[in-house]
Structure 1
Amino acid sequence: MDGKVDSLLRWLKKSDKFYIAQNINISESPESGRGIVLSHDSVKKNDVIISVPSSKQLNFHTILYHISKFNKELNIPGVTIDRNLTDSEESTIAGESRGPIDPRFELYSQLSRDYLLNLSSFQLISFYILVENYLLPKWTHNEIHSDWKPFFDIWPFKEELRSIPAIWNCEPNSQCRPLIEYLPTASRNHMIRISELVREDWKTISEVIFDWNKVCNSTSGIKSSEKLTSNELFSLFLHVYFVINSRCLYAEIPLKMEDRSSNFTLVPYVDFLNHICEVDLHCYPQLNALLKSEGEEIIGIGQFSIRCGEYYYNNINEELFLNYGAHSNDFLLNEYGFVVSENKWNYLDISNDIIELINDDKEEVKTFLVEHDYWGDYTINGGDISYRILVALSYYLTRDKRRVQKFIEGYISEDYFKPKISSILKVLLAGLSVKFTETLNQLTKQADNAEDKLCLQNVITIYAGYIKILERNLQTL
């Protein structure tokens, strides 16, 4: 790993706009993986830890710029290569170009402006990485590699992302696939949503990938036994997709402002920072607009920096953290493939249980709750039962439209209805506690013989968190 980090740093330092604090290092451990630690001195509020130039980030803009090196018809002002440059100037900028033997001249020239601009960031970036990191070396017998190779090389292997549930769902050979039946509602719904996005994005780009792979294999002399099958290509795409998903950082992309899900960038070295649950305390990101120097071409969206927050780092080998957001374990597992043992942002979705409870009078109760926008989305966390649950159960038990209406409008406090619904809430939460404890016990018994203990342990941690939430609320009812 050290050699790959050294190569990454050498690549980044080719730009005089790259900065890294001299008192941080990369640390690697079996428990927490790779992270950034303090090597000496201290890091205090607003200190810059890392600053990466726009040209060294992977996003919608920089990829279009690099594709335009090989596609002279691709002209997007302010994004692609400035075609007003002389041939020699353009040749210098397009340092990645290696002559007519490079298949990208032919392939990227097939991509029209409309086709590229209609892709989402996920579609374009996964398409580009799939070609540059996996297919280009194969097509050219490792004679040509992407200029992004030092960045690609430090990304996690397929095995390291195996704990993401959508991979269990989309990858037929996943050893963790049996765990899907144990996923709780929130995790399962999140997994299904991401899986649908994965398949939709693959459908969008796969036709070109299949075509290029067929053409290049037939002309490159690769033996048929070495050709990638459609399943193998999808498996590579799946890995690339979750490398992107687990490492992207929010950044406004001018060409994609209307599509919020496309507003992100991949930033080398910054992606070594691990998550911590505390918000607004540790490191934080900053994106500065591009400043154009005379004779310099603008590439990308801006300088991306990480600064220290309120927390004062002064212990040698102390890890520096970045909060990824106020996320529950269900979210963290599905987006990043990890969970946190003590996560204050955990919550429990009991929508199905509430709806099942009122099922006998579903139409009447549902009509009232739908009219007032209180149907579904019933959650509890470690210290609170959501207002939506209180409203739903208050109407279910009393059918008092006038008072519940005043409750919704804030003229009656929850203290009026709580005594009326506490008994049924206790029964509901106690029943869920028993149910989850049984599931937890089943999973724990499987731990010794599990094919993948990490994936199983993550699901166990989610259920353990649920039980804590239920116990805390039962104590207060």
Structure 2
Amino acid sequence: MKTGTGDLLVECKETPTAGNGLFARTLCTPSSLLFAVPPQALMNIRTLKSLHPTSGPTPLTATQMISLHLYINRPHGSEDSLDPHYGPYISTLPREFDSHPLTWMVQSKCGLESGGVPLLKHLPPSVHACLVKLHDRFCQDWDAIRAYLVGNTHSVSSSKAIADCEFIHLFKTPLSTSPPVNTRCIYYRLKASKEDPDNLTLCPILDFANHTPNGLHSMTPAPSEADIWDSVPVKQIGFRFLSPADASVQEGEEIFLAYGAHSNRTLFVEYGFVNESLGNVEIADGEVDVQDVVESLILDHKSGVFVKSVLEDEGYWGDWTLYCSAESVQPSWRLITALRLHCLFVSNNTIHHNTIQSWHDVIAGKREIISDGNELAWKESLITICDTVITKAQAGLDSLENDGAEEYGHGGSDRWLPWMCENIRTLWREELLIAAAVKERTLRGDDF
């Protein structure tokens, strides 16, 4: 990048527990320019398009094109990448992602049982379901890249054999203004619409930064004119990153990047780690997806199919959670809405659209509740859901302990296994603690 030492206020150092990290080389006052990455050093759909041309519009998304370039120019063994455009940057990227849950899923589909594959059976159902969706997107992306390679043989030498399982270390997911996000990409405005999933880039130097869940010592990208005015980007001006606006960073202190307000479930599936264990559920942020439990509760009743169709029509099917924050511990509005409808039909012998007018009035804001009886009924169902989650979570923790999961693998290459097992324990403990807290507040009559 040909930057002088005076232009760069940060440096990469190895951390005791999180691999590489980004540290201040000197005192950084609030909102200082930490570093600037020129546009030609960014790896995105605009900079790569000329390197992988097609006869017409490119058939690849930004995620797929970035992954294609990484695949073609990946280093061999401990050697550096020979890519004349991004070789030095590619050479700094990790060489394998064996500890990432998506790698386990891909390996399991290939019939392998090594590494973290045995841990798949220990994941909470909601986490496993998210991982399956990520794997499906991975397969779609890989199919698109493989089709491109078949149709554009000039993009890869004939000596590069292409095997499905060889590609597992290049996992990726689309990034937009909402999760899920790419494990190593950051949002970068390139398209007319700010919601376009191709608004992403790989960025040297920034790539070294670790995640912070609380925003402390967190750098921020300087907005471009396109971001400020919500306009079509006319040209790339590079990427500039500023030090925290509310505090100075001392020399030698680590500077972080906040990945966003993601649940531990999302962090685990998308990034392969979780935030620290919940200590006090009263002050910790957390979320539990109860899709599997609620879906069974609804569909096991004779009215289940009808209730599901109504919820789907009104946009309330799925995405049911229990969550906690510093301000509250409660079920999500979507969950309350679904349970109200379910309990309305449990208390009625008829299944008809006329029965749900009172429910429609509630979601339309015309009335607060369906009835006092309905409120009691859905809260009783909520307690049953919490009990089910607590039981499953305790069983999951016991299974992980009794199975001796830390001993899976083959020694040195899988030294991350104990750490990853602790991450899975955190996921189960989070479900147990939040479900117990929601149950407690329901029993004591709190309003939600």
TM-score of the superposition, structure 2-length normalised? 0.77
The separation in 2 between residues aligned to 1:144 and 1:21, in whole angstroms, is 26
Which consecutive unaligned segments of at least 5 residues does structure 1 have? 1-11, 68-107, 218-226, 291-297
Instruction: Give the root-mean-square deviation of aligned CA atoms.
Output: 3.5
The separation in 1 between residues aligned to 2:274 and 2:155, in whole angstroms, is 40
Give the equivalent residue in structure 2 for 1:127.
68
The Cα offsets for residues 23-68 of structure 1, whole Å up to 9 and x where unpaired, read as x332212412111123442431x22112111011111111124x2x
Give the equivalent residue in structure 1 for 2:208.
272
The separation in 2 between residues aligned to 1:347 and 1:133, in whole angstroms, is 37
Q: CA deviation at 1:334?
A: 1.7
Give the equivalent residue in structure 1 for 2:183.
246
- 2:291 corresponds to 1:356: no
8 Å contact 1:377–1:388 — kept in the other structure?
Answer: yes
Question: Which residue type is aligned with residue 307 of structure 2?
Answer: V
Question: Which residue type is aligned with residue 167 of structure 1?
Answer: T
Give the equivalent residue in structure 1 for 2:337.
391
Question: Which residue type is aligned with residue 187 of structure 2?
Answer: Y
2:89 is paired with a residue whose SS is helix
Aligned ranges for residues 213-228 of structure 1 at < 5 Å?
A: 216-217=157-158
Pair 130,421 (structure 1): closer, same or farther in 2 beyond 3 Å: closer
Q: CA deviation at 1:300?
A: 7.0
Give 1 or 2: higher helix fraction.
1
Pair 149,372 (structure 1): closer, same or farther in 2 beyond 3 Å: closer
Give the equivalent residue in structure 2 for 1:205.
145
Pair 472,229 (structure 1): closer, same or farther in 2 beyond 3 Å: same
- 2:436 corresponds to 1:457: no
- 2:55 corresponds to 1:58: no
- 2:306 corresponds to 1:376: no
Aligned ranges for residues 97-108 of structure 1 at < 5 Å?
A: none
Give the equivalent residue in structure 1 for 2:400.
443
The separation in 2 between residues aligned to 1:370 and 1:364, in whole angstroms, is 10
Pair 345,51 (structure 1): closer, same or farther in 2 beyond 3 Å: farther
The separation in 2 between residues aligned to 1:260 and 1:453, in whole angstroms, is 39
The Cα offsets for residues 89-113 of structure 1, whole Å up to 9 and x where unpaired, read as xxxxxxxxxxxxxxxxxxx6xx533
Q: After the TM superposition, list the runs of 4 or more consecutive aligned residues in structure 1 that deviate by more than 6 angstroms.
A: none
Question: Which residue type is aligned with residue 275 of structure 1?
Answer: H
Instruction: Give the stretch that moved more between structures: 305-314 or 413-422.
Output: 413-422
The one of 187, 191, 196 equivalent to 2:127 is 187
Pair 215,458 (structure 1): closer, same or farther in 2 beyond 3 Å: closer
Instruction: Give the stretch that moved more between structures: 355-364 or 328-337.
Output: 355-364
Instruction: Give the stretch that moved more between structures: 269-278 or 173-182.
Output: 173-182
Pair 448,132 (structure 1): closer, same or farther in 2 beyond 3 Å: closer
Q: CA deviation at 1:252?
A: 2.2
Aligned ranges for residues 32-431 of structure 1 at < 5 Å?
A: 32-44=18-30, 46-65=31-50, 67=51, 111-114=53-56, 117-134=58-75, 145-158=83-96, 161-171=97-107, 172=110, 173=112, 174-207=114-147, 209=149, 212=153, 216-217=157-158, 229-231=161-163, 234-242=164-172, 245-254=182-191, 260-278=196-214, 282-288=218-224, 301-342=236-277, 344-358=284-298, 359-361=300-302, 362-382=304-324, 383-399=329-345, 401-413=356-368, 416=372, 417-431=374-388
Instruction: Give the stretch that moved more between structures: 423-432 or 235-244.
Output: 235-244
Pair 133,397 (structure 1): closer, same or farther in 2 beyond 3 Å: closer
Pair 31,134 (structure 1): closer, same or farther in 2 beyond 3 Å: closer
8 Å contact 2:13–2:21 — kept in the other structure?
Answer: yes
8 Å contact 2:268–2:274 — kept in the other structure?
Answer: yes
8 Å contact 1:281–1:311 — kept in the other structure?
Answer: no
2:14 is paired with a residue whose SS is strand
The percent identity for this pair of structures is 21
Question: Which residue type is aligned with residue 264 of structure 2?
Answer: N
Pair 146,287 (structure 1): closer, same or farther in 2 beyond 3 Å: farther
The separation in 2 between residues aligned to 1:370 and 1:248, in whole angstroms, is 33
The separation in 2 between residues aligned to 1:214 and 1:48, in whole angstroms, is 38
Q: CA deviation at 1:385?
A: 0.5
TM-score of the superposition, structure 1-length normalised? 0.73
The separation in 2 between residues aligned to 1:314 and 1:215, in whole angstroms, is 45
**Rg bigger for which structure?**
1
1:206 is paired with a residue whose SS is helix
Q: CA deviation at 1:473?
A: 0.9
Question: Which residue type is aligned with residue 121 of structure 1?
Answer: A
Question: Which residue type is aligned with residue 13 of structure 1?
Answer: K
